[in-house]
Amino acid sequence: MERLIRDLVISAGLVFPQLVWADKVVFEETVKPFFEEHCVSCHGTQKSKGDITVHTLRGEMVEGDLEHWELVLEMLEDGEMPPEDEPQPDAKSREAVAKWIESGLRHYVEKESKVAVATTTRRLTNFEYQNTMRDLLGFELELSRDLPADPDKPYHFNNTAQMMMIGPDQLIRYKEAARKAMASAIVDSGKPELHQSSAKWDHGKPGKGGLTQAEIGVYQGPGLGKKTMGLKSWPKTGEFKLRVKASGNLPPGFQEVPLRLVMGTSLRHDSGSGICHEVGVVHLTNTPDNPGEYEFRGRIENVPVQPSSTHRNKVRPPSITVTAQNIFDNGELNDHRKSGFDASWSLEAPRVVLESIEFEAPVSEIWPPEHHTRILFESSLRENKPAEYVYEVIKRFMTRAFRRPVARDEVDHYYRVFKVYDAEFETLEEAMRETLAMVLVSPQFLFHTVIDQAAATKPYELASRLSYFLWGSMPDEELFDLAASGELDDSAVIEAQTRRLLSDKRAEGFVENFSTQWLSIAKMKTVNINRDLFPRFLYTVHLGERRGQEQLFRPTIRDYMLEETVGFVGELIKTNASVMSVIDSDFAYLNEPLAAHYGVDGVRGLTLRAIPVKPEHRLGGLLTQGAMLIGNSTGSAPHPIYRAVWLREAILGHEVKPPPAEVPALSDSAGHSADEAVSIKDLLALHRQQESCADCHVRLDPWGIPFERYSAIGKYQPLVPKEKVRVRGFHLKTDKTLADYQEYLKSIYTEEVDASSRVPHGPEVDGMSELKRYLLKERQGEIVENVIRRLLTYSIGRKLTYRDRFEVERLLKLAKGNGYKLQDIIVSVCQSPTFTNNP
């Protein structure tokens, strides 16, 4: 918006701007007088707020200006301009001006714009890279953690072509990752050496702490709450198997206990050192008289190894530790102490009974493994016509890696690469690893490309677009087949495929990747929670040098909150619910710790699922979820500005400008210290009194105030302390139990939170329920349009421009007729010519 009309003026002075629209009559009679009356006083020669001037506008629309005209149009349509405190134009002339601009845009888009509109070639995101390698190779290898992080920008997707850059450093990493992948995918000939380790524990008499040797209680201190086994040896690559014999010691009232297995370095809860890889979780419901055997599998390459070290002149070899944990969590584990879990929980809560662990690698029931023969397939050709065999191996691999049939000259090329390696390596396996690694650093693999004027590859490009949109990965056999047969052209086939892809497990990755970026929730994990004010929110270490800090190595309530939001969106897609459920819904997506946090009874276990909620729970929709509320708080207090920005960006689809340079901070401008307990509403009011702040904040703050009854940790909290009263933290000496501390809080939380504000161009709303009601009733169009725009942007990997405006309009209309159903909207996006690249 900044350079809007300034640019209009500049480009009008260009040498040969192509004139795309001119309706001088309407311009002179309606548009020009409108701008003169309502705009020029702030955006003219005297003042140019937001760096915008309109006094030189002429009655023509030229190419290059169109994006800016669209912004003017949006301002008019959304009622953002003229500002509320200025005289308002009547609806008729506002509409007439909007229509004039809109007709111009439509005219251009329909008649003149048949050319390619934007860069579509972009490299795979790390998320797509990881998934593609998984599906290409047939096993999960963690590769993306060694690639440079993708650029990220709040509320934007990281898959837009402009942002996805590549450089030599990135390319080196791709090469390393590709070689690592091929080292695992192709095995050497001959039966591998088997590596085995095992450990046993006795489930006999309870010891001093009340637990038997085989029992694992919930974590309560250094060295407790886990059992470990060191591996004697392990192969460099390959699949491994962990078999455990286990059961649950379940006190009355408990149905299950979760056992989690991780592998990596030795985990030190007290010093916080160690890294691990999760192998799996099993929810044990069987009792010790009936122990079960459970098998987990994984890839040894993904397991962090403790490097060799020297200690008192003794060399310790590299090591891998298997750790079994009891991750039971009912949200109330540390309710009795300053930090850490109450020791009594280790007996009151369910215990894991772990009788044995057996490790074996590589898994070799079928040898060579399937992922090997998928590449170096069994054939007599290998012996008889080696050159032909090599050619065929390369061709098959390339076809899948390039996600389309490959041309002869392309295969020839990699055959030449093979020859280079073949000359120096002794075995076919070695030379092939290197050759195929180069296929994996080729631009055809690393980039999403659209081959110009090539009808033959078009269906494959569409197959890829579908799979990368909904799976973040390469197409599967079925999509390839449909592309080959030409059936993918049919919109009924696209619909069926879209629904099939969405119902596949791989779609979970899409939902997570899309929701996390759309809602910008990742930051909630690093908000610094004030542990004095919220002594119970985090599980903290109660001994050692990390005393008082959050426990590591187990899922936390914040992990569950991220899963809650992602799972919620997934549930809307799965059940084809209305998009408006993002504002309010009759269910929440919870597990036991989350339910305990939000005050919902009767939810058991760690598995998140849709739980019906009642109005008194004050849940439903995205607005009251922890990920949003915590991510947009300070960790001590709610932050109405962050929350307002979130609502406007993520839900209403506005672009909110960051504060300009030289703007004093909130507390400075208000002349108060933020440390004092001045109500935030007063503080904001003072901030708005400053002219420099007012322009933006009158349109911002009102959206955040209604969130004020939700605390920094996302709990409903209608009462706060009086002004200038400082809340003291939990003291074990003063407060014997949590109940005592809660009594204390009750005694000082005496003031009702003021959460009423008048939304711009809207009514007065008091608190969350009224805000939701208003959004549901008055802002439907905007909210649904935003979701459509987000989906479309994400699906095609580029920003939308004025050219896409009319397609978005069409999709919105379609959605409206369909009850705004989310899965149907995704289908319509996939059928859209903008997506299929088939205008």
Q: Where in 538-567 is the site for other proteins (CB under 8 A)?
A: 546, 549
Site string for other proteins, 469-498 (x = CB under 8 A): ------------------------------
Tokens matching residue 281: 């979780």
Question: Which residues, at least 6 apart from 442, have a Cβ–Cβ distance to it below 8 Å?
Answer: 401, 402
- Per CB under 8 A, 172 contacts other proteins: yes
Site string for other proteins, 613-652 (x = CB under 8 A): ---------------------xxx----------------
- DSSP output for 692-752: HHHHHHTTTHHHHGGGTTB-TTS-B--EEEPTTPPPP---TTT-SSHHHHHHHHHHHEEEE
- Provide the H-helix boundaries in 617-718: 626-631, 640-646, 666-669, 680-689, 691-697, 701-704
Alpha carbon distance 205, 185 (integer Å): 47
Binding positions for other proteins, 491-530, rule CB under 8 A: 522-523, 525-528, 530
Q: Which of residues 97-116 bind other proteins (CB under 8 A)?
A: 116
Distance, in Å, from the CA atom of 775 to the CA atom of 782, rounded to the nearest integer, reads 9
Smallest gap from residue 635 Cβ to other proteins (A): 6
Check binding of 673 to other proteins (CB under 8 A): yes
Asked if 417 touches other proteins (CB under 8 A), the answer is yes
Residue 444 CB, shortest distance to other proteins, in Å, is 6
DSSP 212-278: -TTEE-S--STT-SEEEEE-S---SSSEEEEEEEEEEE--TT---EEEEEEEESPPBTTTTB--EEE
Q: How many Cα neighbours within 13 Å face the side chain of 541?
A: 19
Site for other proteins in 352-411 (CB under 8 A): 409-410
Cα 490 from chain centre:
31
Find the binder of other proteins among 11, 120, 364, 780 (CB under 8 A).
Answer: 120
Do 236 and 368 form a contact (C-beta atoms < 8 A)?
no
Ramachandran angles phi, psi of 387, nearest 5°: -65, -45
> CB of residue 660 vs other proteins: minimum separation in angstroms?
6
Q: How far is the CB of 605 from other proteins (least distance, A)?
A: 30
Told to check if 664 binds other proteins by CB under 8 A, we report yes
Q: Which of 661, 691, 726, 733 binds other proteins (CB under 8 A)?
A: 661
* Surface-to-core class of residue 117, CB atoms within 10 Å of its CB (0-12 exposed, 13-18 middle, 19+ buried): middle
Cα torsion angle, 136, 140, 141, 144, sign: positive
Show contacts with other proteins in window 123-142 (CB under 8 A): 123
Q: Which is nearer to other proteins, 65 or 150 (CB)?
A: 150
- Of the CA atoms within 13 Å of residue 86, those in its CB half-sphere come to 14
Our CB check for other proteins shows the closer of 379 and 556 to be: 556
CB closer to other proteins, 86 vs 532: 532
Say how many C-beta atoms besides its own lie within 10 A of residue 542's C-beta.
21
* Residue 183 DSSP code: H
* Nearest-approach distance from CB 289 to other proteins, in angstroms: 43
- Residue among 79, 100, 102 nearest 91 (CA): 79
User: Cβ of residue 499: shortest distance to other proteins, in angstroms?
Assistant: 31
Per the rule left: phi > 0, alpha: psi between -120 and 50, beta: everything else, 534 is beta
Beta strand 351-361 with 195-200: parallel, antiparallel or unpaired?
A: antiparallel
Q: What angle do CA 38, 44, 50 make, to 5 degrees?
A: 90
User: Is residue 9 a contact point for other proteins (CB under 8 A)?
Assistant: no
* Residue 193 vs 545, nearer CB to other proteins: 545
Q: Does 230 bind other proteins (CB under 8 A)?
A: no
Q: Does 14 participate in binding other proteins (rule CB under 8 A)?
A: no
H/E stretch holding 324 = strand 321-326
Q: Which of residues 688-717 bind other proteins (CB under 8 A)?
A: none
Distance in Å, CB of 151 to other proteins, minimum: 3
Q: x-or-dash pattern for other proteins, window 251-290, by CB under 8 A? A: ---------------------xx-----------------
Is the CB of 370 or the CB of 532 nearer to other proteins?
532
Residues 419-448 within binding reach of other proteins (CB under 8 A): 420-421, 424, 438, 441-444, 446-447
Strands 609-612 and 587-590: what pairing? antiparallel
Distance CA 627, CA 632 (A): 8
Cα 251 to Cα 287: distance, rounded to the nearest angstrom: 10
- State in angstroms the smallest separation of the CB of 348 from other proteins: 31
Least Å from the CB of residue 451 to other proteins = 5
CB 626, min distance to other proteins, A: 17
Among residues 163, 678, 686, 727, the one that binds other proteins under rule CB under 8 A = 163
**Identity of the residue, 202 or 409, whose beta carbon is nearer to other proteins in the bound complex:** 409
Shorter beta-carbon distance to other proteins: residue 186 or 282: 186
Among 96, 183, 663, 748, binds other proteins (CB under 8 A): 663
In the list 18, 56, 88, 121, the residue contacting other proteins (rule: CB under 8 A) is 121
- What does the per-residue mask of binding to other proteins show for 443-462, with x meaning CB under 8 A? xx-xx-xxxx-x--------
Q: Does 804 bind other proteins (CB under 8 A)?
A: no
**3-state class (DSSP) for residue 172:** helix
If the CB atoms of residues 155 and 240 are measured against other proteins, the closer one turns out to be 155
Q: How far is the CB of 441 from other proteins (least distance, A)?
A: 7
Indicate whether 591 belongs to the interface with other proteins (CB under 8 A): no
Nearer to other proteins, 596 or 713 (CB): 713
Among 18, 88, 119, 308, binds other proteins (CB under 8 A): 119
* Cα of 467 vs its chain's centroid, Å: 18
Strand-pairing partners, residue 198, are 358
The token pair that represents 61 in the structure block:
């629309």
